């Protein structure tokens, strides 16, 4: 630990390592802890922030990449466990990994051949996923140091970053603000905001891998996705432009079923392309903040619901995890060790005029909100 930096941080804040507010038994209890690490990026220290609520749920976030490194929630026996994939050794986040827990931008998901146009201007992005651009490029938002401001009365963190004109090929100076908020109802709220000084594209998301059973694969998890349609993809995982019905297909999760129920069938008929689910679902929207998905893990009793203002959610089943990365709980992360529910606009939207559009203009404000809520069966 860099003790000098830690002391300077505390003196600057006028605070100790754990800040909490609680006036009586009826008020909400909040706790924010701040700690530094021995790691540095671009002459800036990586700092760990912990949000905790009155029930003991805890979320740990790094200023590097806005990474959610831990989410501790209770099972049906009341035992807390960490339910997101990642690393015990934070230095591993500085090496190649599949976006564990990261904030993704400027554009979450894929852009075909790394090319898009706004009006009469064409822009070329770094292609880091075969022939395509993925999750912001070579050095996206997952690899930068964010400025972090603790919001103590709200049990929240405000992360900010300015992506300069031309960064990774994107136009415009983009000012981004992300708020992570942990409520006493065991909800992790994430608000995404951005403004630009030049027309650009924006599609921000969060890339946590969840495993509600912790040290098993995720095939026995039961999931419901609130979508009648999904986006078929080509061999490079770019949407074809079609909105296809999930009915009578392995993509139908309108009623709860196990993740593994049809996943082998997908491989057999080669519609998975990526070796499993890695597809964007077109959400059924009944209001601005709508239920996107619900996941149940029978053994632990944990339940996770996802609410969002976004039109889509990418459901990914850890198809490319290959056992090369060491797991928090011992062993290695193999295929199907975790799943992602990435709320977002659709992949390759800038090149698909029939998709909801992602262009942000000067004087406009980008705003979306996603909520991950945790409970146990019977709550």
Give the catalytic positions in this structure.
207, 342
Sort 334 into a burial class: Cβ within 10 Å, 0-12 / 13-18 / 19+.
middle
Which residues have C-beta within 8 Å of that of residue 162, sequence separation ≥ 6? 173, 174, 175, 176
Dihedral angle over CA of 103, 284, 57, 36, nearest 10: 10
Do the beta carbons of residue 243 and residue 231 sit within 8 Å?
yes
Tokens standing for residue 239: 């949407």
Which residues have C-beta within 8 Å of that of residue 161, sequence separation ≥ 6? 141, 144, 146, 147, 176
Cα–Cα nearest to 34, from 6, 72, 11: 6
Which residues have C-beta within 8 Å of that of residue 368, sequence separation ≥ 6? 191, 192, 204, 308, 309, 310, 343
Do the beta carbons of residue 371 and residue 188 sit within 8 Å?
yes
**To 5 degrees, how large is the angle CA 359–CA 360–CA 366?**
120
Cα dist. 233→115, 125, 165, 343 in Å?
18, 21, 31, 18
CA 157 to chain centre: 16
Do the beta carbons of residue 272 and residue 264 sit within 8 Å?
no
Do the beta carbons of residue 46 and residue 36 sit within 8 Å?
yes
DSSP 156: E
């Amino acid at each position: 630990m860099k003790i000098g930096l830690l002391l300077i941080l505390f003196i600057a804040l006028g605070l100790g390592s754990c800040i909490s507010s609680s006036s009586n038994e009826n008020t909400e209890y909040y706790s924010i802890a701040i700690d530094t690490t021995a790691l540095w990026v671009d002459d800036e220290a990586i700092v760990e922030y912990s949000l905790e609520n009155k029930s003991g749920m805890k979320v740990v976030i790094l200023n590097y990449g806005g990474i959610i490194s831990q989410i501790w929630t209770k099972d049906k026996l009341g035992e807390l466990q960490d339910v997101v994939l990642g690393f015990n050794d934070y230095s591993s986040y500085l090496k190649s990994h599949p976006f564990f827990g990261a904030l993704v931008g400027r554009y979450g998901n894929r852009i075909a051949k790394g090319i898009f146009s706004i009006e009469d201007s064409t822009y070329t992005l770094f292609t880091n996923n075969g022939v395509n651009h993925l999750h912001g490029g070579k050095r996206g938002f997952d690899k930068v140091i964010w400025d972090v401001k603790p919001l103590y009365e709200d049990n929240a963190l405000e992360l900010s970053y300015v992506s300069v004109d031309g960064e990774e090929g994107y136009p415009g100076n983009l000012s981004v603000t992300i708020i992570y908020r942990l409520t006493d109802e065991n909800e992790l709220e994430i608000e995404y905001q951005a403004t630009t000084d030049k027309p650009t594209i924006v599609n921000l998301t969060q890339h946590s891998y969840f495993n509600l059973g912790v040290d098993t694969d995720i095939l026995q998890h039961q999931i419901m996705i609130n979508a009648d349609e999904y986006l078929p993809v080509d061999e490079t995982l770019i949407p074809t432009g079609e909105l296809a019905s999930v009915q009578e297909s392995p993509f139908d999760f309108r009623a709860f079923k196990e993740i593994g129920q049809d996943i082998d069938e997908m491989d057999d008929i080669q519609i998975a392309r990526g070796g499993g689910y890695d597809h964007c679902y077109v959400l059924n929207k009944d209001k601005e903040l709508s239920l996107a998905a619900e996941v149940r893990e029978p053994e632990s009793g944990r339940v996770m619901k996802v609410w969002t203002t976004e039109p889509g959610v990418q459901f990914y089943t850890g198809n490319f995890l290959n056992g090369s990365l060491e797991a928090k709980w011992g062993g290695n992360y193999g295929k199907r060790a975790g799943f992602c529910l990435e709320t977002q606009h659709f992949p390759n939207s800038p090149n698909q005029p029939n998709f909801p559009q992602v262009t942000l203009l000067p004087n406009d404000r980008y705003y979306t909100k996603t909520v991950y809520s945790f409970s146990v069966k019977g709550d």
